[in-house]
Structure formats: structure tokens, C-alpha cells
Amino acid sequence: MDVVLPERFIASFKLDEAHLGQYLDAVGGGHPVHSSAAVARAAGFKGVPLPGVHVLGAALAEFTRRCAGIPIQLLDIQSRFLLPVYPGDRLGANLELERGSIRSTERYRAGRYSGFCTLENGLKALEIHVVLRFMAKNRMDK
């Protein structure tokens, strides 16, 4: 088996107003709390928060970008939002491989990664658990 699972994924990313607009256009508007300041304030937010799936997707995109040369299969994902994220917030993402979760076959190596996306002030905004399967390089040519 020639696939070595990365021990840790570390990334930093930011979604701004333009990203939010593109996301809302792509999903046909989404929930009004993500497009109306009045609705967001009435719901208890300090401003219009980013949709959770948008933040989660951006975090996963950063991780998979780092492994672009190896086909990856998403087997499972679990997330839990701890704090709202707003356009312009910079997030640091850090996921670590759970050593006991590694499963290997002739064709694949899989593992569970767990971690958080944190705001610049260090507060955890998003908890993530993801199981990824990486294809062996010798299998990509077949």
C-alpha cells in the first residue's frame, strides 16, 4: 500500500459577502436569516450569518485541495456548529487523523479525521468529524 494518510490538515480561509452572494444564488436564495439583516437580528444574530453548509463546504475544500493528486472518497461527515460565522471572519481549520481509525485494503486506506474550525479569537465555531478513503496510486492507472 503506497498511500500514507496525512496526520493533520491545517488550513485558513475566509468567506466574504461575495462568497455568500454566490452561495445564495446557487441555492435559490436559501433561508432568509442568511440574506436579511432584519431577520438575522430578530433571530438573535449580530448580523447575517453564513450558512453552516457553506462554511463546512469551504473547510472541506481546503482539506481536499491539499490532496488533489490522490482520489478521495468521502465516506462520512458529521459537524456541529458552536458559534455563528459571519462574512469576513477568518477561520483556522485543524483536523487530526485518529490513529485507531485507520483501515487498509489492497485498494484503499481510510481514516477518520476530527477537529475544529476556530475564529481568529481562538473560539471554536465548528466541530468536524470526517471519514475519508484515499485510493492507492497503483490502482489509479487500472
Torsion (CA) 51, 81, 47, 94 in degrees, nearest 10: -90
Q: What is the pLDDT along the chain (142 residues), one digit of tens a residue?
A: 577 888 999 999 999 999 999 999 999 988 999 999 999 999 999 999 999 999 999 999 888 888 777 788 899 999 999 999 999 999 999 999 999 999 999 889 999 999 999 999 999 999 999 999 998 865 444 4
What pLDDT score does 58 carry?
94
Give the domain ranges of the chain.
8-15+49-140
Q: CA-to-CA distance for 134 and 69, rounded, in angstroms?
A: 10
pTM of the model: 0.85
What pLDDT score does 67 carry?
77
What pLDDT score does 138 carry?
56
Q: Are 93 and 115 in contact (CB under 8 A)?
A: yes
Q: CA-to-CA distance for 131 and 117, rounded, in angstroms?
A: 17
For 9-119, where are the alpha helices, taking DSSP H only? 17-26, 37-42, 52-65
Handedness of CA 38, 44, 49, 51 (dihedral sign): negative
What pLDDT score does 56 carry?
95
Q: Please tell me the class of the 8-15+49-140 domain.
A: alpha beta
What pLDDT score does 4 carry?
81
Residue-wise over 20-54: b if at least 16 C-beta within 10 A, else e?
A: beebbeeeeebeebbeeeeebeeeeeeebbbbbeb
- The residue written with cell numbers 440574506 in the block is 35
Burial bucket for residue 72 (CB in 10 Å: 0-12, 13-18, 19+) = middle
